[in-house]
Amino acid sequence: MSAGARVFSWPLRVYWEDTDAGGIVFYANYLKFFERSRTEWLRSLGIEQQRLRESTGGIFVVAETSIRYHRSARLDDELIVTASLVEAGRASMIISQQALLKTEQPPGQPAPLLCEGSIRIGWVDAASLQPRRIPASILDSLKTDTATT
């Protein structure tokens, strides 16, 4: 499950809470931005995490992150944060993500890349935190998403 994955996009705005004394977005906060985009991507596929936890007893946990920072964003900037499935296995999946700066670009010109990375996510039992297989309903939703795009 990999080729031709849809790229999901989520807009967000930089607030004071996101910045640090360098005058820019604090780098750790891009992990939060990436997660907001992943969450909304899952929601767009009908996957609500709180409901899933109640019905299956499982939750997603982040197992690995790898991020490269290219440019800085500042207060009041608008960002576009993407999420795109790279690989979905039985116990974990890999999502590729980018944060782009929304600017008034001439048509055809790409938005500047702020940072990018890949996130590996596992599925665990919420009580024991032991790894479990990702529920079939989730994998089905992901497959359908990939297939139709």
Tokens 């782009």 belong to: 100
| C-beta of 76 vs 140, nearer to a second copy | 76
The DSSP string of 62-116 is EEEEEEEE-S---TT-EEEEEEEEEEE-SSEEEEEEEEEE---PPTTPPPPEEEE
45 in contact with a second copy (CB under 8 A)? no
Q: Is residue 115 within 8 Å of 30, Cβ to Cβ?
A: yes
Q: What is the 8-class DSSP label of residue 24?
A: S
How near is the Cβ of 56 to a second copy at its closest, in Å? Answer: 14
Q: Is residue 44 within 8 Å of 83, Cβ to Cβ?
A: no
145 as an active site residue: the answer is no
26 in contact with a second copy (CB under 8 A)? yes
Stretch that binds a second copy, among 19-27, 82-90, 102-110, 133-141 (CB under 8 A): 19-27
The H or E element containing residue 136 is helix 136-147
Which residue among 5, 24, 81, 142 contacts a second copy (CB under 8 A)? Answer: 24
User: Between β-strands 58-69 and 113-125, what pairing exists: parallel, antiparallel or unpaired?
Assistant: antiparallel
Which residue among 1, 6, 56, 67 contacts a second copy (CB under 8 A)? Answer: 67
Instruction: Tell me the site size for a second copy, rule CB under 8 A.
Output: 40
Q: Considering 18, 20, 77, 140, which one is annotated as catalytic?
A: 20
Q: Which residues are identified as catalytic?
A: 20
Q: Which residues bind a second copy (CB under 8 A)?
A: 13, 15-17, 19-24, 26-29, 31-32, 35-36, 39-40, 48-51, 59, 61-69, 72, 74-76, 126, 129
